[in-house]
A = this chain, B = another copy of it.
Amino acid sequence: MSTVTSQLSISLDGYVAGPEQSPQDPLGRGGLRLHEWLFGLDTWRAQHGLTGGDRGVDAEVVDEMTRNVGAYVMGRHMFGGGDGPWDETWRGWWGEEPPFHTPVFVLTHHPRSALTMAGGTEFRFVADGIHSALKQAREAAGGRDVSIAGGASTVRQYLTAGLLDTLQLHIVPIVLGAGERLFEDVGDLRLEQAAVVAGPSVTHVTYRVSR
């Protein structure tokens, strides 16, 4: 069976987003600093349709974490938008060629038809819960891995439900002081360190998860 993975950038004080998150600002105040290590990388830039950038340990990590993914699951805010019924003209904020290149299952309370984008990404909307979304993602992945893409609350739901096999944390040397914690009310997790990669500014640690 394929592996269910997730990866998140986390501050030293355990936050995966800053305070005052909103549909317009899902990373929260200061939350963008969690992701700055990514922006200069060639592999990240290529995924977002840009050229140039650095090749190095961090870029290898990013390549590695997407290489075997056959489907993604994400929360509605990560797709883009608020919580009400869908405006069917809204196609998410990832642009016409999103960086996923696979089926992406978007958790929502409001059913909607699938959206086929350029470059192989298809957004499919799942209104009957996280187990259903994972089941559909597994089938779509066809033996490849399923990545729980985010946001943090979506990852926490899968973590709490015991559905994640591995969790990779990018440990960023910042202190946010407030915001959204990954490990809030997740119950009694058992984690085992499986791999460590030291980047120039952040540390990437992969954990096996069990309950």
Chain A residues with CB under 8 Å of chain B are 12-14, 169, 171, 173-175, 177, 181-186, 188-189, 191-193, 196, 198, 200-203, 205, 207
Q: What are 30 inter-chain pairs, A to B, with CB distance below 8 A?
A: A12-B14, A12-B183, A12-B191, A12-B207, A13-B14, A13-B181, A13-B182, A13-B183, A13-B184, A14-B14, A171-B203, A171-B205, A173-B192, A173-B193, A174-B191, A175-B183, A175-B186, A175-B188, A175-B189, A175-B191, A177-B185, A177-B186, A192-B201, A193-B200, A193-B201, A193-B202, A196-B196, A196-B198, A198-B198, A203-B205
Residue contact B183 to A177, C-beta cutoff 8 Å: yes
Residue of B nearest to A12 (CB): B183
Residues of chain B within 8 A (CB-CB) of A186 are 175, 177
Nearest neighbor of A202 in chain B, beta-carbon distance: B193
Find the B residue at minimum CB distance from A173. B191
Given known contacts A183-B12, A196-B196, is B173 in contact with A171 (CB within 8 Å)? no
Residues on B with C-beta less than 8 A from A192 are 173, 201
Known: A173-B191, A173-B193, A193-B202. 16 other contacts (CB 8 A): A12-B14, A12-B183, A13-B181, A13-B184, A173-B207, A174-B191, A175-B186, A175-B188, A175-B191, A177-B186, A192-B201, A193-B203, A196-B196, A196-B198, A198-B198, A203-B203
Which residue of chain B has its CB nearest to the CB of A192? B173
Give A189 to B184 CA distance when docked, in angstroms.
23
| Distance in angstroms between the alpha carbons of A201 and B194 in the assembled complex | 8
- Of all chain B residues, which has the CB nearest A198? B196
Q: Given that A14-B13, A183-B13, A183-B177 are known contacts, is A196 also in contact with B191, CB under 8 Å in the complex? A: no
Contact A203 B196 (CB under 8 A): yes
Residues of chain B within 8 A of A169, CB atoms compared: 12
Give the chain B neighbours of A202 by CB distance below 8 A: 193
